[in-house]
Chains A and B, each alone.
Chain A
Amino acid sequence: MRGIRLAAAALAVAGLVAAACGGTTPTPASSVSGSSAPATQTKTFTIGFTQSQTGNQNVTSKRQTEGIQLWVEDVTKAGGIKLKDGTVLMPQVKFYDDESKTDRVQALYTRLINDDKVDFLLSPYSSGLVKAAAVITEQNARLMVTAGGADDVTMEQGFKGVYQVYAPGSKYLIGAIDLMLKLDPTIKKVAIVNEKDSFSASVVAAANPYAKSKGLDVVVAEGYDTGTTDFNPFINKIQAAGPDAIIGGGHFEDGTTFAKQLFDKRVNARFVALLVAPAEPTFKDIGDAAQFIVGPSQWEPAAKYSAETAKAANVPYFGPTPKEFTDRYVAKYGSQPSYQSSGGYAAGLVLQKALEDAGSTDPQKLQAALDKIDVMLFYGRVKFSLDAKTHGKQIAHDMVYMQWQKGSDGKLATQLVWPQDAATAQAQLRK
């Protein structure tokens, strides 16, 4: 007995020395038993990214980071990511505040790669920042899973190592138009007002012709600068044009302000769908102005992805169920997760799946595994384009649509309203 204790102590000391020299900690479990199974080796696996702790993207970016951190916590609790050769990877994150600025993103991703020497990169939140980060990761021939960037254009640059978890921007408002026409086929006039950034522009570039193809008359089509706080000039135009519906927006701050000012000016559009902002739980802070607003969402807690849906799609299911993710998120952060939270967690799961499939942290093997991924998560299906021009672009994930509705208790809550087969409530028109 004493001998076993001594041997264990010697192994522990050797482990500490090895950790000091090479950052790895051999775990003596299997060698003590004398079995022929591969020796377990625990390594830290550092994942670098930036968060917009300040600036325009701070609310939604924080959600994304919370999702990533919850994934790290869950993986750690489960004993790490176990590779086929017996290596156990214990993920840890390293991130900085990018201030919602592209120049900060580029400086910080360079730092993460060259100074911090992180093992893998996840993206910042928002398309503009993702694009800035992607330039750096591509220049350095590094892999990056984009946790929160939907812009089509970014993923049509022929990047080799960037993988998009979000459904692309071109899908965002297409479903909203379908929902709108299903709800009220008499809607004819639509106003499209959007932020003039890469993401929103790609959304509108798809939504505008789609609306016209459905016989809708686009009576206002205008963009506004990022950071706009006074929407009255647009609202006056919208009111004069008398549209039945308004679609557009951009990100959280501007979308929230736009919705509030539309309500203050009592704009009579029956259907309003805005990007990003409505899907953030704190959107309800604008009170009655939030009611009836529809938002495209990458994921909602009411999503019904499961092992059964995976089987139906003939792909494996990986990770927690939507309910498990939601419960754990609520327990940790005290609020419902937004789709940005789910994007962060899903990016972690994609990395985990790729590492397990590759059985290695070798970048080439990891890239091959990412290329092959076709999996159902709590977040929905994830598969990447292998076409040279659109390599890494998300091709399997679908959007859902939520709406802020008042319940019988008079309180605002989100309901999943589209697609119909997954809806938790019928969509409502503003009276």
Chain B
Amino acid sequence: MANLKIGDKAIPFDLPGVDGKDYSIADYAEKSAVVVIFSCNHCPYVRAWEDRMVQIQADYQGEAVQLVAINANDASKYPDDSFPKMKERAREKHFNFPYLHDESQDVARAYGAERTPEVFVFDKSGILCYHGVIDDNYDDPTAVKIRYLQEALDAVLTGKVPPVTETRPVGCTIKWR
């Protein structure tokens, strides 16, 4: 279960990205919303949703929303989740957000993340406003009925409480050491 409750402050992190730079949540202090998504390469749920992640970042770029994906999986057991493979995936899928490597798994543990993908949305004050899934249909983007993440962002950007603040994350378990 997530260690953060709705209303809690974001837990800081400082992690390397696939572009060779390090990223910290403090880098986004000026953003209206920050979306931290625990993700990875191999999980079919992530692979089903990742085009939508890219699209959401593109759609909200002008609104000062920043997505950040974090991979904490143990690459020794799941080699497709290694840092070199992360770089390949980011290139292949044209990730328009940082893709960070939580090799020690400390950040994932601190957040209490359990699944990939698992979404945490923070407002401009760094307060958790939404936690859970991206939308209600991992399998078919054309059959999505409730766009939980987008609805949360629309609310946060107008200073409102999201219509739904928590959903059960759906996806593969994070692969712990």
Chains A and B form a bound pair: no
